[in-house]
Structure 1
Amino acid sequence: MARNIESYYQTFDPAKLFERIFYRDGYVLQGRELNDAQEMAAHRLKQIADAILADGDIIRDAQITVNEKTGEVQAQSGAVYLNGAVRGVAPATFTIPTTGTIAVGIRMRETVVSEMDDPSLRNPAQGVDGEGEPGAWRLKVETFWSYDGDGTTGDFFPVHVVDNGVVRAKEQPPALDSFNALLARYDRDSTGGGSYIASGMIVQRAEDGATQIYTVSEGRCRVNGVGVELPTSRRLAYAATPDLRRIDTEVHAAQGGTSERVLVAHGPIHSVESLRVSIEKTVELVHGSYTGCSDTLPDTSVRSVEKVWQGDTIYEAGTDYVKNGDKIDWAPGGAEPAPGSTYHATIRAIVAQTPGNLDADGFDVANAVPGSDILVTYQQALPRLDRLCITADGVFTWLQGIAAEASPKAPPVPDTMLALATVAQTWRPERPVTSDGVRVVPFSDIKALNRRVDYLAQEVARQRLEADVTTRENGARVGLFVDPLLNDDMRDQGIEQTAAIIDGELTLPIAATAFMLSADVQQPIARSFTPKVCLAQTLRTGDMRVNPYSAFDPMPARVTLKPAVDRWTETQTQWTSAETRYFNRTRDGYYHVVVGREYSTSNELLAQTSEDLEYLRPIEVSFRIEGFGPGEELRQVTFDGIPVEARALA
């Protein structure tokens, strides 16, 4: 940065890519080199800081409040990032315009201070030749609150934006630009758009004036991943205008009377263009200057002449006179008033009226002829759904939907906005406001929702069980009892049951007892076979003794138990169906075991329990002991510690 200072040189240029300054001994140290070193370090620090922060990012406090009516601004002290450094700013009070969009921020003003301005900059070293001599000057940087367009000198950095006297919502400090960008991207990816209300932001309707007034409570939200916070509630004015539909000449039948209420078919009414009513009235006329002339009525839209008379004389229509437009024509040649005399006529005419007690649904008319037509042309205000949205910059925006009399459509919300509420523009005194913005669901609510889902699942399961019971026991209806023979559930458990239920059939039971192998089977028997050599070793090599010195212990006697392993199945059942089902394996209706090539297995588990057996079942076990050497004598045989009698075999 070049400055017009005497004997000051600074030539640092980032485009030259100079990274360091090498000071060499024996050469004069230049002031320019020291200045370049300062600028080089400041430039490097600013590059790093700009990657994290942006000019105008609030580090601490630095909030403002604006009087919407007067434009007075109360600005706090705080710390704001400006031009490569975090700079403090003092509090201030000033006034801004209350219309339009105004940027409020901080101005930075630089001033060069010499020893003439500040004597403390002279050399303070005592007892040296340069004592009190002038030295390096200083650069003073001042910051103060301002707004764009106030005419003050200095570089302006916007911090806040004020729309028509209302401060635009902004992320609360610290506002770290790069970190906020990363958080915004993560928020958009993890939440499917990154637009939701974290807290508050309730929209309510306030008292209307010339425009519609709404209030938005304080709160916090994220719009497209960017945080927006309202420290205080906001008051919004919305100059809503309806979409109009012209209803041309709507006809209503008059009931008659001094005043009657007319309800239109297409409300609400925005404005009435014309209202025409048929009325009956008596007018006074002066007959023309000659016999048979026509007399003009005061109304142009005359429907009929009901009665014409003069004194006690009543004139007959068609014989004495005829209606000709808005005139009474005395051409028929019958009786008529004397020329220049006054007579009276009762007529029915269509006249324009101003609707009385006009509201959204109808109005009052006066003196309408019973049975006549009331003609009205008016503008209908079509119902519409408007949405209040907020942008990532904190700007409140209204989106207008598609107006329709029957089913208006709400407007779509762009991804760059967050919908806060929907206003049903009925154009009536009652105007529903629904705060239907997407909100964060607390974990407590999610947990409660999970409990509700579990409860509903249990209720559905219970209902299915009840329905199943009803289906299974559908025989127990209207005094009859029918067993579908699906299982043993409907059998009388209080008496002994001697029948079995198998696959929907009630049949005689089969009593079975499990035995070991039959006594006539001495050993396992295989089917007849003929051996066939599949693999043979016809050659052999020499042999040698494995243990030529016979260094081994004598083999102990071998004991063989028969049976060596006892396996059995115990079945405890109240019914005979389980045992009978085991033998019911054929298709010919007879209950026997068939040894063949077809096998099938059926498992039906109603309940299962397990427990340790206290005692094994008693069975007969035979044993054989062999392998005694010469001279060995058998003295005692025990089985599980119990002495048994051994019988010698040949």
Structure 2
Amino acid sequence: MQSRALDQVRRVGDYIIQDGRIMDGQYPIVDEPDSHHIRVRLPACPIYMRGLVHDVDEAVFILPNTGELVIGVRSQENLVTDIEDSSLKGSVPGTEAFMEEGAARVEIILTWGHSLETDPRPLQSVFQVRDGKILTVETNTDQSEIYKSLEKYSRESNGSFVNTGFDVTAVGLNGAGKQVLSIAEGVAYVSGRRIVRQQSMRVEVTEEPDLRNVDAEPHPFTAATGGTQIFKVSKTPIESVRRVVVEKETTETVLHGPFSGAVDPLQHPSVTAILEIKQGGTVYTSPASWILSQGQIDWSPNGAEPSPGSNYTVKYRYNENIQPDAVTRDTVTVTGAANGTNVLLDYAYKLPRIDALCLDMAGAPVYIKGVSAVSRPRRPVIPESMIELARLHNDWGRPPAVQASGVRNVPYDEITDMRTAIVDLYDLVAQERLKNDVTGRDVGAKRGLFVDPLRNDAMRDQGIPQTAAVFGGKMTMPIIPRLHEFPSFVGIRCLAYTEYPIITQPRRSSSKKINPYQTFTRMPGRASVEPSTDIFTDRQTGWTSPQTQSFEAPEGEYISGISLEQRVEKIGERIVQAEFVRQRDVNFRLEGFIENEKLTALEFDGIALPVTAYAPANADGVISGIFAIPANVPSGSKTVFFEGSANTRASCTYVGRGEITIEEYRLASALETSSKTMPQPVINNTVINNITNVNNVSERGGDGGGRGEGRDPLAQTFTLVNARCLSAIRLWCAKKGSNTNAVLVQIRTCEVGMPTSIVLAEAFVPATDLTEGEQFVARFRFPVYLEAGREYAFVVLTDDAEHSLYTAEIGKIDIDTDEVITGQPFTVGVLLSSSNASTWTVHNEADLWFDMLACKFDPVERVIPIGSFKTLKMSDMIVRAGVEIPDPEAEVLIRLTRSARNEIITSAPSQIHQFADYIQNEDIMVEAVLRGSEHVTPFLFPDVQIVEGELQPTADYYTRAIDATDTNKVLVTFDAFLPAGSGAQVSIGVPDSYVQVNVSSATPLGDGVVEQTYIRASYPANNLDAQTKVVITGTPAARPEIKSMRMLLSKV
């Protein structure tokens, strides 16, 4: 009875608290007795274990300060009888039980221990220790249903954020040449989980820069001939100097050959110039007397020459490879060159890179590398299961510049202060408007003054065609984009793998119907479209600004979208851009239809499309074809719906938007159903597909579902100890029903122990693949990554009344072993059944028979050909590919090879590239490089797109016209960045009567920016208006920028 009562208490306790949870007490204290060890003082505290709270005495451990280990508790159970404890004998005199032996007791003693001990007793983890630091003092919360609910609430409402502390400081290089970073103590919430650190932590990172070679960089040698000079290179910091080529000067005595016209060799064959040939007082000139041929003096001309066999002197210069005297991070010291010559340097330098220091859900620091680039290095993609604490702008060999990038909690008192400051700001703006009423209403309407901050196209003359791109506070050269796609590259790609069972429940005693409540809703067909995503959106305008701005993403930022055109509507001073899904042809494939069933309905985002051109379903139930996306469909995630003449329905998702999330890529590429044909009733009739994509349940009528009726499923929950990629689930068919009714297996998330409607992966199993009494495999189209310690469920659905699966139930006989099943077959999950996939019945005494198959990836790097394209005239490039990086061990790089030069350009999946020259008419091969580990793979989604940008060599801009009555002088001022090779021309006047003016004054502002003022005096009285025309010119290597355009009309 006592054991039963204890078991009941334990079941309730385990639902709320996990073994090893500290209920109260002080945090552990860590100090360093020497340079190789730490001393951990563990306080006396109550710890929950197996349904009871035990008092544990304090302990002190001396542990190594490197590596990973676990501190926890060990349990010792002792049986205490009346022999050891006489108080257990009967104690009531005069009764038959007096002094008779009583019931024994079980004494449970918990003591502290660690994983380096040789104690055979199992160790229950309490603290994780890494390199001498306790990662977090919040112990064992990942399995508690209460904590899971709190984590989910925090994750969905606030995401990951730093509450206090966790500041990152760059300490610098240590003795081993590693960068040392310090993370301060604090409290953070990572994907909803509370991480507490009472002590700071140091992280050591090995510098691993990416290198690029510079060949033959010229530097003029201005020191005296044979002297020493220090050169500052253009690309720093220097990794190594491969070669230094100098031009030396020498005078050599040469013996003339034995006959006239002979060829005399020189000691140094790499001759660049002969300065003088002399014998006595006679100087011989070229080409009358001699010529230089292959480093030798050829006397074949018929002019004067020394006598055969006589000596003469030759003063000449030659090239020689030398070793530099000294090399620093940005200079090279060279000795021995001739004055006035060039020194050629071949060296490798370290590319700039932005890395990130993150915190994972275990409280451990994770260092994630970004993607190096000559300019605009791209910061790394941060997995959702981590929080970014800081971005590190590497200055190789020096402490990196630390940018605090972690999302931090803003207390309400600070929010109140900000609200007060905003009110004060509005008041100040209102006062300023009163002072500058005309300018505040419309800067272009004030007489005699025009100002354009160049934020957008609003202030330019809307009636004159012009080509300059205006955005972000600057005017620059326009870039015309051209899209390159790879239609043959389809399907999600990952590393190659083999399957192995990761979780197995091998017992079976009886069977259970998949559809026990017989609520029949017809199983939908499966639909897939190719392509399924598009980052281009159609916009309509004559301006070049939006498409050019796509090639100007800020340093370290993502591309927010690419637009070929835009429509500008001016309402006051507000700019409205209308975006639409790009019209294109899309291939579709439908499965699960009835033979000869015709397609009667096809809708894209609710717009009916013609269906007369498609053949009926073949013998396999497949319909395929092509449809065109209609015009004027707003950008976003769209449902593609199909319906057949026998009421078979199928739907999938198409995403057309400038920025597409990982979840939308997977939804569009990996799932062949949507909420339109797979109703999954949850609270408020809202279906959440694949975590972030939300669709309201709606149907187009009829009896095809969508009203919340759902289907009868079975479900089995499970939790992975380590994060893994799952590929399939093997089940055992106990009974087979109709040969036309399929089985659908889905992986879903769980909340409070119950499956949700969030579908992560799915697999269709045709009834023809089912054999009664045989196992079958439900294999997902692509592997799905599941996190460690998070509860999931696989859900089995069918519209057949007889399909059944084997289960194991406590108290029944195992079919295979003929033994009674006395314990829970599968202890980390439960079997559930439902009639509507919303309200579930828990079967604690039973579990499904199943094998869960995970992926073992080998090799851990894979190069995937994507295709090739031919450039027309490319000065800029955007590489866009949808990728999923589930773990920092995974990485995807896009590799572009210029066939003509055998040059490789490495790019991140979303990166902008600018080139110093046009790449014209070249074939470029595109490949993807996937890197992972044995258990983790990155995913590359289809629809990789390369956007070629062509920088235009010239562009013009017109201001608005301003009333010029009684104007004598027009002044135009702007801030110009005009690198060598670019220029700006200013003309002032009216259409058909512009006069070009020169710079009147120039004031340097720093960083190459110059404030230039242009003046046209004696402005003609017959010009009733004044307008400025600016023409800018440039090249890919010299891109001009104009800022802060001002025009002032004066009467004096």
Alignment of 1:303-342 (within 5 A): 303-304=272-273, 325=294, 334-335=306-307
Asked if the contact 1:279–1:367 (Cα under 8 Å) also holds between the matched residues in 2, the reply is yes
Cα offset, 1:392, TM superposition: 1.9
1:185 is aligned to 152
Q: Which among 262, 273, 277 is matched to residue 242 of structure 2?
A: 273
Gaps of 5+ in 1: 1-36, 478-650
Cα offset, 1:289, TM superposition: 12
Asked if the contact 1:112–1:139 (Cα under 8 Å) also holds between the matched residues in 2, the reply is yes
CA distance in 1, matches of 2:58, 2:440: 81
Q: Counterpart of 1:265 in structure 2: which amino acid? A: S
1:220 is aligned to 187
Gaps of 5+ in 2: 442-446, 448-1052
1:453 is aligned to 422
Asked if the contact 1:271–1:380 (Cα under 8 Å) also holds between the matched residues in 2, the reply is yes
Deviations 1:487-522 (A, max 9, x none): xxxxxxxxxxxxxxxxxxxxxxxxxxxxxxxxxxxx
Cα offset, 1:380, TM superposition: 2.1
Cα offset, 1:116, TM superposition: 5.8
SS in 1 for 2:407: coil
CA distance in 2, matches of 1:438, 1:151: 43
Distance change in 2, residues 1:123/1:423 (3 Å):
same
CA distance in 2, matches of 1:471, 1:421: 40
Cα offset, 1:408, TM superposition: 1.9
Q: Which among 168, 173, 183 is matched to residue 208 of structure 1?
A: 173
Asked if the contact 2:391–2:403 (Cα under 8 Å) also holds between the matched residues in 1, the reply is yes
CA distance in 1, matches of 2:283, 2:436: 90
Deviations 1:79-111 (A, max 9, x none): 222222222322333344544322221222223
CA distance in 2, matches of 1:181, 1:330: 94
Tell me, yes or no, if structure 1 residue 393 matches structure 2 residue 362.
yes
Asked if the contact 1:309–1:315 (Cα under 8 Å) also holds between the matched residues in 2, the reply is yes
Deviations 1:116-147 (A, max 9, x none): 65666666677888776655444332322222
Distance change in 2, residues 1:327/1:469 (3 Å):
closer
Q: Counterpart of 1:103 in structure 2: which amino acid? A: V
Deviations 1:373-392 (A, max 9, x none): 32222222111111111112
Asked if the contact 2:42–2:59 (Cα under 8 Å) also holds between the matched residues in 1, the reply is yes
SS in 2 for 1:432: strand
Deviations 1:242-300 (A, max 9, x none): 12112223233322331112222222222222222222346788x79988998876655
CA distance in 1, matches of 2:13, 2:439: 76
Asked if the contact 2:233–2:330 (Cα under 8 Å) also holds between the matched residues in 1, the reply is yes
Deviations 1:304-338 (A, max 9, x none): 5656789x798958899986656678999833667
SS in 2 for 1:368: coil
1:373 is aligned to 342
Q: Which among 13, 21, 28 is matched to residue 49 of structure 1?
A: 13
Distance change in 2, residues 1:140/1:282 (3 Å):
farther
Q: Which among 71, 81, 85 is matched to residue 104 of structure 1?
A: 71
Instruction: Select between 406-415 and 292-301 the one with higher mean Cα deviation.
Output: 292-301
Instruction: Give me the TM-score of the superposition, normalised by structure 1.
Output: 0.57
Asked if the contact 1:66–1:167 (Cα under 8 Å) also holds between the matched residues in 2, the reply is no
SS in 1 for 2:400: coil
CA distance in 2, matches of 1:360, 1:172: 47
Q: Which among 56, 59, 67 is matched to residue 23 of structure 2?
A: 59
Q: Which among 410, 417, 440 is matched to residue 409 of structure 2?
A: 440
CA distance in 2, matches of 1:397, 1:471: 50
Q: Counterpart of 2:198 in structure 1: which amino acid? A: P
Asked if the contact 2:14–2:51 (Cα under 8 Å) also holds between the matched residues in 1, the reply is yes
Cα offset, 1:345, TM superposition: 6.4
2:228 is aligned to 259
Distance change in 2, residues 1:72/1:118 (3 Å):
farther
CA distance in 2, matches of 1:267, 1:82: 59
CA distance in 2, matches of 1:73, 1:449: 46
CA distance in 1, matches of 2:207, 2:196: 26
Cα offset, 1:154, TM superposition: 1.0
Q: Which among 36, 40, 44 is matched to residue 4 of structure 2?
A: 40
Q: Counterpart of 1:168 in structure 2: which amino acid? A: L
Give RMSD over aligned pairs.
3.9
SS in 2 for 1:207: strand
CA distance in 2, matches of 1:99, 1:90: 26
2:41 is aligned to 75
Distance change in 2, residues 1:406/1:123 (3 Å):
same
1:148 is aligned to 115
Deviations 1:56-91 (A, max 9, x none): 222223625264942334131222222222223223
Instruction: Give me the TM-score of the superposition, normalised by structure 2.
Output: 0.37
2:162 is aligned to 197
Q: Which among 329, 342, 367 is matched to residue 360 of structure 1?
A: 329
SS in 2 for 1:222: strand
Tell me, yes or no, if structure 1 residue 241 matches structure 2 residue 241.
no
CA distance in 2, matches of 1:426, 1:449: 35
SS in 1 for 2:375: coil
Cα offset, 1:414, TM superposition: 2.7
Asked if the contact 1:170–1:394 (Cα under 8 Å) also holds between the matched residues in 2, the reply is no
SS in 2 for 1:140: strand
Cα offset, 1:46, TM superposition: 0.7
Cα offset, 1:175, TM superposition: 9.6
Alignment of 1:238-637 (within 5 A): 238-257=205-224, 258-281=227-250, 299=268, 301-304=270-273, 325=294, 334-335=306-307, 348-427=317-396, 429=398, 431-467=400-436
Distance change in 2, residues 1:160/1:297 (3 Å):
farther
Asked if the contact 2:73–2:125 (Cα under 8 Å) also holds between the matched residues in 1, the reply is yes
Asked if the contact 1:57–1:176 (Cα under 8 Å) also holds between the matched residues in 2, the reply is no
Distance change in 2, residues 1:248/1:130 (3 Å):
same
Distance change in 2, residues 1:113/1:314 (3 Å):
farther
Greater C-alpha radius of gyration = 1
Give 1 or 2: higher strand fraction: 2
Indicate the percent of aligned positions where both proteins have the same amino acid. 27
Q: Counterpart of 1:226 in structure 2: which amino acid? A: R
Asked if the contact 1:320–1:334 (Cα under 8 Å) also holds between the matched residues in 2, the reply is no
Cα offset, 1:211, TM superposition: 0.8
Q: Counterpart of 1:88 in structure 2: which amino acid? A: D
SS in 1 for 2:13: helix
CA distance in 2, matches of 1:280, 1:89: 85
Highest relative contact order (Cα 8 Å, sep 6+), 1 or 2? 2
Deviations 1:162-192 (A, max 9, x none): 223332134279999333323222222332x
SS in 2 for 1:412: coil
CA distance in 1, matches of 2:57, 2:252: 84
Q: Counterpart of 1:71 in structure 2: which amino acid? A: H
Instruction: Select between 102-111 and 60-69 the one with higher mean Cα deviation.
Output: 60-69
Deviations 1:170-218 (A, max 9, x none): 4279999333323222222332x2x111111111111312111111122
Asked if the contact 2:257–2:264 (Cα under 8 Å) also holds between the matched residues in 1, the reply is no
CA distance in 1, matches of 2:257, 2:149: 99
CA distance in 2, matches of 1:413, 1:471: 43
Asked if the contact 1:62–1:75 (Cα under 8 Å) also holds between the matched residues in 2, the reply is no
1:544 is aligned to none
